[in-house]
Amino acid sequence: MGREVFVIDGFGGRRVIDGSIKVNGSKNDAVQAFAASLLFKSGYGVTDVPDIDDISKMGALLEKLGVGVLKNNKKWSFNTKNITSHVIDPEIACKIRASILLTGPLLARSVKVNFPHPGGCVIGERPIDLFLDGFKQMGAKVEENEVGYKITAPKGGLNGVTIFFRNQTVTGTETFMMAAVLARGTTVLKNCALEPEIENLGRYLVSQGARITGLGTPTITIKGRAGKPLEAKKPYKVLPDRIEAGSFLILGALAAKKLKVEGVRVQDLESLLAHFERIGVPFKLGQSSVTITAPTKPLQALEVKTHEYPGFPTDLQALMAVLLTQAEGESKVFEAIFEGRLVYLETLVRMGAKTQVMSQNRARITGPTPLTGASVESPDLRAGLAYILAAIVAKGQSEVHNIHYIDRGYECIDERLASLGVKIKRLT
């Protein structure tokens, strides 16, 4: 897998794409939905699941715990009647950071959990202290060893407490909301992340018997079920992937005569679309679609600062930077979520971009500059797709290596881009 490469013949700045593309289910929503299976007695299903590597790994982790897992196209079914292990497989978990989502529901269900240091893309520090501290607050005993951590809930299960997140955290909010569903007493989570995937998870759990209030706000209150699992009455429906939608919209802004991105929730894209209005990208909104058309005037530079939802998504920052290389004037990028996430800019410079990294979180991009093809190495999922976009815009041929990162988050990206007229091949 690691030896596979995308070979892309760029458009040389021409606007060639003219068509439509449908957005798949959300990776970030699906992985938490898989973890939530542990809260259910049995017979739990998830629909609209994307066919990507991170999803396969989460399914494999659940199987290692004794969960019966069945995949049927975009629908997955889980039988959690007999959880036979409390050890989250380290070999698989080290390759996917979302594995930490399993800790909360597994600890609440099985009273103990062993898990390794989580893996995934290397994009700066992602401390897990807040998870360990939160479990301790709920009465659990935490022991660290060479492999990872061993956590044991108190007799009778986790206790409801008030947890204040020092920084908004998506995985933290999701993990402790799930853990609290089966805990004893009431748990209050403060300074919660506001991502729509969190609200989708919470509303589904409520529809299946959980007692959760405050969804969509910074304070979420959960009245625990004291170890009594939920019973699924209907499957979990995964949201459309707003990051994938944003990725395709930026592609359209770069290289399309006209591109219709279908199957989206328009309300989840407001920040990106507000930036499009400032930079000069024309778009039209449908009920569940956004159509990008070629701008009639040069794109204009602007400042992009990432922020927790509903602000500009950090996962679109690298892709937006590619668009800024084609805008007139000096743009600024401020990465406020993850340190070290601007390293990809060195590669864009090799392709012709004019950038200046001011610090590990700030950079300037001066444009417009024509890009030229190059051989590049994907450092992570989102930067990898940014390189694909840069290669599409560039003149000449590019090779994008380490594409296993890209496969983690984008289903059949080469085939879907080829359907739009992009000249892309996957070679081994």
Backbone angles phi, psi at 230, to 5 degrees: -80, 160
- Kindly tell me if the per-residue pLDDT of 41 is higher than 80: yes
Confidence class of residue 169 from pLDDT cuts 50, 70 and 90?
Answer: very high
**Confidence check: pLDDT of 129 > 90:** no
Percentage above 90 pLDDT, the chain? 93
* pTM (2 d.p.): 0.95
When pLDDT is cut at 50, 70 and 90, the band that residue 25 belongs to is very high
pLDDT of the residue at 340: 85
Could you tell me if 405 and 54 are in contact, meaning their C-beta atoms sit under 8 angstroms apart? Answer: no
Mean pLDDT across 339-367: 96
130: tokens are: 């807040």
pLDDT at 117: 73
pLDDT mean over 76-90? 95
User: Is the predicted pLDDT of residue 187 greater than 50, yes or no?
Assistant: yes
Residue type, 148: G
Question: What pLDDT shows up at residue 1?
Answer: 43
Please choose, from the candidates 192, 240, 233, 191, the residue with its C-alpha nearest in 3D space to the C-alpha of residue 210.
Answer: 233
Asked if residue 145 has pLDDT above 90, the reply is no
User: Omega into 368 within 30° of 0, i.e. cis?
Assistant: yes
pLDDT at 123: 43
pLDDT tens figures, 385-411: 999 999 999 999 999 999 999 999 999
Q: Say whether pLDDT at 423 is over 50.
A: yes
- Cα separation, 311 vs 208, in Å, equals 30
pLDDT band for position 359 (cuts 50, 70, 90): very high
Q: Which residues are catalytic?
A: 121
> What is the phi-psi region of residue 254: left when phi exceeds 0, alpha when psi lies from -120 to 50, beta otherwise?
alpha
Q: What is the mean pLDDT of the chain?
A: 95
Sorting pLDDT into bands at 50, 70 and 90, what band is 2? low
Alpha helices by DSSP H, 325-361: 345-350
Instruction: Name the least confident of 125-139, 202-216, 221-235, 259-273.
Output: 125-139
pLDDT-derived band at 3, boundaries 50, 70, 90: confident
Residue 274's φ and ψ, nearest 5 degrees, are -65, -40
The pLDDT assigned to 119 comes to 56
* Distance from chain centroid for Cα 341: 15
Which pLDDT score is estimated for 124? 46
Kindly write down the DSSP assignment for every residue of 235-290, as one continuous string: PEEPPB-HHHHHHHHHHHHHHEEEEEEES--GGGGHHHHHHHHHHT--EEE-SSEE
- Going by pLDDT thresholds of 50, 70 and 90, the confidence category of residue 146 is confident
Q: What is the pLDDT of residue 122?
A: 43
The secondary element (H helix, E strand) that includes residue 197 is helix 196-207
- Minimum mean pLDDT range among 123-132, 277-286, 359-368: 123-132
Q: What is the C-alpha to C-alpha distance for residues 265 and 289, in angstroms, rounded to an integer? A: 8
Separation CA 113–CA 35 (nearest Å): 14
Q: Please check whether residue 83 is in contact with residue 73, taking contact to mean a CB–CB distance below 8 angstroms.
A: no
pLDDT digits (tens, 9 = 90+) for 280-297: 999 999 999 999 999 999
**pLDDT confidence tier of residue 339, bands split at 50, 70 and 90:** confident
- pLDDT at position 147: 83
Give the model's pLDDT for residue 284.
98
Burial, 117: exposed, middle or buried (Cβ in 10 Å; 0-12, 13-18, 19+)? middle
Q: What is the pLDDT of residues 112-126, one digit of tens each?
A: 999 987 654 444 444
Q: What domains can you pick out in the chain, each with its CATH number?
A: 5-24+240-427 (3.65.10.10), 27-237 (3.65.10.10)
Which pair of structure tokens corresponds to residue 233?
């009455």
Share of the chain above pLDDT 70, in %: 97
